[in-house]
Structure 1
């Protein structure tokens, strides 16, 4: 009975939050694509600095080890992006030409191209690690008390919606394919169930490693926000457009901050 509840709760939180985010991001807010990029950057940074990292540092793990993990994570996602870009250029045998066209489009203010943006694999990897940690947390809550497990599942679902909206925007910008972006982020969300299953069997052992899962996930979100999203927003705009960017960036930060506090 507990195992069934864990699976139900983790799938609802992991995949349900992705589909709710898609409903908002691709439906109600779809016409605000550039604004969504600003909100995505704010949501990813807020998720890392105001939710994941504080929770990791509240544990008994040493600060030196956690900071080292954060540094290793940032370097790892940088190398992952390099590998992704190299593979794409090699696959098409004309990477320099494509990059030149992408640079031309960017210089003329065109926000979209067919070149996959750096950061998509970093987002999916970090999201999977984050979801795995969420699954372990939900499993722990259900094993302590059934009602606590339900509350934890709903809290994770609510908290993940603004964050997954950011993920979907990153992937959609890279491929301009809504369906593929939704499938990829849904698969990452499904890792929540895997975390729940392993958490059910190994909750005591895995609990000690949760702070490191949280820090690795944080490093991916910080890297993507600062290396991929923010540079796309750093172009010459009118005062009104710049103000709109700042407002949407703060909206992303505010959404995650409010939902995180409600979840706790």
Structure 2
């Protein structure tokens, strides 16, 4: 029996030695990594290494309220390491003692600085270590082995400046696994290892993600923090009720809503004086977490326990942490400044080139019937894209109805309601178009080219140019001389008119292109999806618009070269508007105002300028034209509707 006891004693001794050896090995590895980082090539932290060590740590600390970054000097190390000398440097055991003191400083800089000033850094550090190793008692069934370490990481988060990067953040569990330590049965050597590892990751600039829960007093501290005292007046209660939309009262503009909620300065407050941490202020706690915080055991809540829970429920409502968040569905939705200018410039250049391509086709084509039908399709597509972009994208944008997020289909309700607006436009277009076709034969003999002066008919202008082109090809030289002789008495007046009208058209076209560029710049400032929708709308209406203006310039007697030059000059104004829109649209308020102006422009051009030319166009094949017009309208609206509904699912 005694032999078995001796064998068991030897096994336990061997196991203890193995654990101690493993712990020492872990500490050596941590110390070795710190030395390699701070003082590469040295065997230990020399005098210069210790100074570099302190300098790196100071850069990781951020204390916005008080000047706390330089309250620790190398000379203060002797408070923690009794035999420390600058010439001797800092060896492994000394490092882990200093690590505990630095973790205390990172968690509570003001308390640590006061302790250092009073030569009590070692005593306060020991109390700090004991507070971490103390067992968490949160009521029956709510014991967390990493609670003390999580609370430490939670405090460090507020005053710690990590390096930017895509690495995953470390939790208390991760650090314990790396250190091979369990806080459920911690020794002094074990907690030293944990704190030494924490300080190593601080030196590296790694981020931390604590899983700590606040104390019960946090919720009352949150509610009373903006009042400046622990007493709430009747006016404060009224302000709180108004923010919570209770009592039927309305909060005045000079009310106390700005006094409610967290403030950064907590000094001089009564109560627990628990320090602010923005991560708690923005956290939506679950029912289980609230029960854990308030030490509620079991699955039932008594009246007394619910009374204690009530401040937490009010705090959750007041902070809005559990409200619907409109986080972007894709982090790359918004473009950088360089990307905005590059993509917007490319889009505007493509629009201008497409318009010039249409002009070349106008000059080269000889099939006037096919060209007229194609123009009607382009005009109807322009009306659909213009009105669709204005109603489905720009209108919700400046009214605050459109947000790119993870919301469900219920958040698309405004899109379907705005779709009814387009349905109303389409219904009355169908009625007027059908009536126009049915009465076309009766009124055909009374129509003329100038019979409808109430709108600018782009298709009719192009038809006039094509008729002039064909007429010139079939006219003999004698007929031209005769016509010139007959027109000679009025040549001076026609020349003055021809000199005035083309420039008026060019100026109007330039203003129009400037507004298009402004809208395009504002759209790309919001997101590339918004820029895509607006680019489509501008492209569809620019093609028939530029063709109509160019044909009218030629119809007025201007040469092709001069007409192209004026058309090119007016197109340049779109780039001016584009860059102005990109520069001023960095402010969200400016984006909303520009979107409102662009919506008005698009609606006017689409409904007052182009839609009448669809209804009153001269048609040799009215039903074919009617079909193509419907196809263009529905295609324009359909594309913009799909962009509105599914733009959050488009990934580039």
Band the TM-score falls in, shorter-chain normalisation: 0.5 to 0.7
Instruction: Specify every segment of 5 or more residues in structure 1 that has no aligned partner in the other structure, as ranges.
Output: 62-100, 142-148
Distance 2:344 2:546 in 1: 20
When residues 55 and 181 of structure 1 are mapped into structure 2, their CA distance, relative to the original with a 3 A threshold, is farther
SS in structure 2 of the partner of residue 208 of structure 1: helix
Equivalent residues in 2 for 1:57-206, closer than 5 Å: 57-58=395-396, 59-60=398-399, 103=450, 111-112=464-465, 124-141=510-527, 149=528, 152-176=530-554, 177=560, 179-180=564-565, 182-184=567-569, 186-190=571-575, 191-200=577-586, 203-206=587-590
Label 1:170 to 1:40 Cα distance change in 2 as closer, same or farther (>3 A): farther
State the match for 2:610 in structure 1.
225
Q: State the match for 1:78 in structure 2.
A: none
Unmatched 5+ stretches in structure 2: 1-334, 401-447, 452-459, 469-493, 555-559, 645-652
Question: 2:627 matched to which residue of 1?
Answer: 247
The alpha carbon displacement at 1:139 in A equals 1.8
- C-alpha offsets along residues 54-103 of structure 1, whole Å, 9 cap, x if unaligned? 33432428xxxxxxxxxxxxxxxxxxxxxxxxxxxxxxxxxxxxxxx974
1:207 corresponding residue in structure 2: 591
- Alignment CA distance shift 1:259-1:192 (3 Å): farther
TM-score, normalization: structure 1? 0.60
Distance in 2 separating the partners of 1:29 and 1:155: 30
**8 Å CA contact retained: 1:41, 1:230:** yes
Q: Secondary structure at the match of 2:381?
A: helix
For 1:165 and 1:194, the matched residues in 2 are separated by 23
- Quick one: distance in 1 between partners of 2:551 and 2:362? 17
C-alpha distance 181-252 of structure 1, shift in aligned 2 (>3 A):
farther
Rounded to whole Å, the distance in 2 between the matches of 1:41 and 1:261 is 19
If asked which structure has higher relative contact order (CA below 8 Å, sep 6+), I would say 1
Do structure 1's residue 33 and structure 2's residue 386 form an aligned pair? no
Whether the 8 Å contact between 2:355 and 2:543 is mirrored in structure 1 is yes
- Using a 3 Å threshold, how does the CA distance of structure 1 residues 5 and 55 change in structure 2: closer, same or farther? closer
Q: Are positions 1:256 and 2:641 aligned together?
A: no
Counterpart Cα distance in 1 of 2:623 and 2:581: 41
What TM-score do the two structures reach when normalised by structure 2?
0.27
2:138 match:
none
Aligned residue pairs total 209
- 1:262–1:173 distance in 2 versus 1, CA, 3 Å: farther
* Structural RMSD (CA): 4.2
